[in-house]
Structure 1
Amino acid sequence: MPYDSGGLEILDEDECRALLAKAPLGRIVFTQRALPAIQPVNFTVDNGDVIIRAAQGTKLAAAARNAIVAFEVDDFDEASRTGWSVVIVGPARVVSDPKEVARLQELPLRPWAPGRREHFIRIRPTLISGRRIPEHSAPPPS
């Protein structure tokens, strides 16, 4: 396994995609008023793309329309001081095709946040990267 200059394992694309598919919650990074914005969202993976739900008229739905966004998932264990992070970057689009919307409604993606989330946003990864804190890097207990 290759390592970066900070001693973190560099994950290959297949492992990044496998970890992405296992995570229940991620963070979408988009631009709002020319500034970066980050919002936690639950999501699912469909044919390699990240799918999230958004309410009509939200800043997220507006910002993600045909924009390049980043999306990050991670899992860390404080006790063992291990974990991983995966970041994808790619174009996001609001799904407008009625057949595709109907199909996406059948996916196991139920919003965690209150309120109606009837719009689907599809993020197609064009860049994908990941890092893991190796187990041997944890200091001995004190």
Structure 2
Amino acid sequence: MDANDGFRELDRQECLHRLAKVPVGRIVYTRQALPAVLPVNFGLDHDGAVLVRVSAASELVRAIAGAVVAFEADEVDAAAHSGWSVVVMGAAVLVTDPAEHARLLRTGPRSWAPAPQEVFVRIDPELVTGRELVGGHTLYKVHLPS
């Protein structure tokens, strides 16, 4: 950590531990050759893969299936000026194996927007990075003349 930047790098295990504590993150992908970001609720599989349960007919499934994506989640304490952010990058694949799909129906994340036909998208954690803001900065009051 650079002594002046106030951030501490998180190792892979710390990153996965923090991801497991928050319910919502953002998938970063390409839509019509432009970057797109979509908030989603998610869960982690036993191997650290990010799991998202979505409608089989969603635009998101068509856009990310088989593509390399980024997934980001964070937690911020505005009052304490502290927080952390974790990014997972990897291939997004549809879970097509019937036994795996059945397992995820029991143990995987529940969709916050249920649909008649849902699929699981798995983002394999090829690269996991994170950082934490330590020792948040104190805000200084500025006194303006009346």
Q: Distance in 1 between matches of 2:60 and 2:34?
A: 13
Kindly indicate whether the alpha-carbon contact (under 8 Å) linking 1:56 and 1:118 is maintained by their aligned counterparts in 2: yes
Equivalent-residue separation in structure 2 for 1:101 and 1:32 (angstroms): 27
**Shift of residue 37, structure 1, vs aligned partner:** 0.9
**Distance in 1 between residues matched to 2:74 and 2:90, nearest whole Å:** 18
In the alignment, what sits opposite 2:82?
A: 82
Q: Which residue of 2 is the match for residue 26 of structure 1?
A: 25
TM-aligned CA distance change 1:138 to 1:99, over 3 Å: same
TM-score by length of 1: 0.90
Is the Cα–Cα contact under 8 Å of residues 42 and 52 in structure 2 kept in the other structure? yes
Q: Which amino acid aligns with 1:32?
A: R
How far off its partner does 1:58 sit? 1.2
For residues 70 and 33 of structure 1, the distance between their equivalents in structure 2, rounded to whole angstroms, comes to 17
**Gaps (5+ residues) in structure 2?**
142-146
- Alpha-carbon offset, residue 137 of structure 1: 2.7
- String of CA shifts for 1:11-64, please: whole Å, max 9, x gaps: 111111111111111101111111111111111101210100111221110111
The percent of aligned pairs where both chains have the same amino acid is: 44
Query: Which residue does the alignment assign to 2:66?
Result: 66
Instruction: String of CA shifts for 1:85-138, please: whole Å, max 9, x gaps.
Output: 00010001011111110000001521112534610000001111101111x232
Q: Which runs of 5+ in 1 are unaligned?
A: none
Corresponding residue SS for 2:52: strand
Moved segments of 4+, more than 4 Å = none
SS of structure 2 residue aligned to 1:105: helix
**Which structure has the larger Rg?**
2
Asked if 2 retains the 8 angstrom alpha-carbon contact of 1:91 and 1:123, the reply is yes
Tell me the residue number matched to 1:126. Answer: 126
In 2, are the aligned partners of 1:29 and 1:39 still within 8 Å (CA)?
yes
In 1: Cα distance, 2:56 partner to 2:76 partner: 33
Code of the residue aligned with 1:53 in structure 2: it is: R
Equivalent position of 2:144 in the other structure: none
Aligned length: 140
Match of 1:103 in 2: 103
Contact 2:80 2:136 in 1 (8 A): no
Q: Confirm or deny: 8 A CA contact 1:53 1:120 kept in the other structure.
A: yes
